[in-house]
Amino acid sequence: MRRSPFRPDLLQGKAALVTGGATGLGLEIARVLGGHGARVAICSRKEDNLRAAVDTLRQEGIEAIYGVCDVRRHDEVTTVIDDVLRAFGRLDIVVNNAAGNFPAPISELSPNGFKAVVDIDLLGTFNVSKAAYDLWLREHGGAVVNISAAIQYRGMALQAHVVSAKAGVDALTRASAIEWGSDGVRVNVVAPGAMSGTEGVKRVAGDNRQRTARNPLQRPGSTTEVADAVLFLASDAASYITGAVLVVDGGGWLTAPGAPDSPG
Ligand code: NAP
Percent of the chain at pLDDT > 90 equals 88
Model confidence at 195: pLDDT above 90: yes
pLDDT tens-digit map of 220-263? 999 999 999 999 999 999 999 999 999 999 999 998 775 554 44
Q: Is the CB of 203 under 6 A from ligand 1?
A: no
- Is residue 221 in contact with ligand 1, taking CB distance under 6 Å? no
How remote is the CA of residue 21 from the centroid of ligand 1, in Å? 8
Examine the pLDDT at 22 and tell me if it is beyond 90: yes
**8 A C-beta contact, residue 158 and residue 104:** yes
CA angle 82–19–2, rounded 5-degree value: 120
This prediction's pTM: 0.96
pLDDT at 207: 53
Strands 245-248 and 142-147: unpaired
Question: Collapsing DSSP states into helix, strand and coil, what is residue 107?
Answer: helix
Q: What would the pLDDT profile of 141-182 be if each residue is shown by its tens digit? A: 999 999 999 999 999 999 999 999 999 999 999 999 999 999
Q: What is the pLDDT of residues 107-145, one digit of tens each?
A: 999 999 999 999 999 999 999 999 999 999 999 999 999
Q: What are the start-end ranges of the E strands in the chain? A: 15-19, 39-44, 64-68, 93-96, 142-147, 185-192, 245-248
Q: Are 51 and 66 in contact (CB under 8 A)?
A: yes
Q: Find out whether 96 and 79 touch, Cβ atoms under 8 Å.
A: no
Ligand 1 centre from 23 Cα, in Å? 7
Judge whether residue 211 has pLDDT over 50: no
**Domain 15-250 grouped into CATH 2.30.30.90:** no
168 CB less than 6 Å from ligand 1? no
Q: For residue 111, how many other CB atoms are within 10 A of its CB?
A: 7
Supply the residue whose CA is at minimum distance from atom 42 of ligand 1: 264
Cβ–ligand 1 distance for 120 under 6 Å, the answer yes
> Minimal CA–CA distance to 212: which of 198, 228, 229, 195?
195
Name the DSSP letter for residue 208. Answer: -
| CA–centroid distance, residue 19 to ligand 1 (Å) | 8
Average pLDDT over residues 36-56: 98
Domain boundaries, the chain: 15-250
Are 18 and 42 spatial neighbours (Cβ–Cβ below 8 Å)? yes
Residue 209 has pLDDT above 60, yes or no: no
Nearest protein CA to atom 12 of ligand 1, as residue: 20
> CB of 165 closer than 6 A to ligand 1?
no
Above 70 in pLDDT, residue 210? no
pLDDT for 206:
64
Going by CA atoms, what residue is nearest to atom 41 of ligand 1?
200
Query: Over 90: is that where the pLDDT of 198 sits?
Result: no
Q: Is the pLDDT of residue 32 over 90?
A: yes
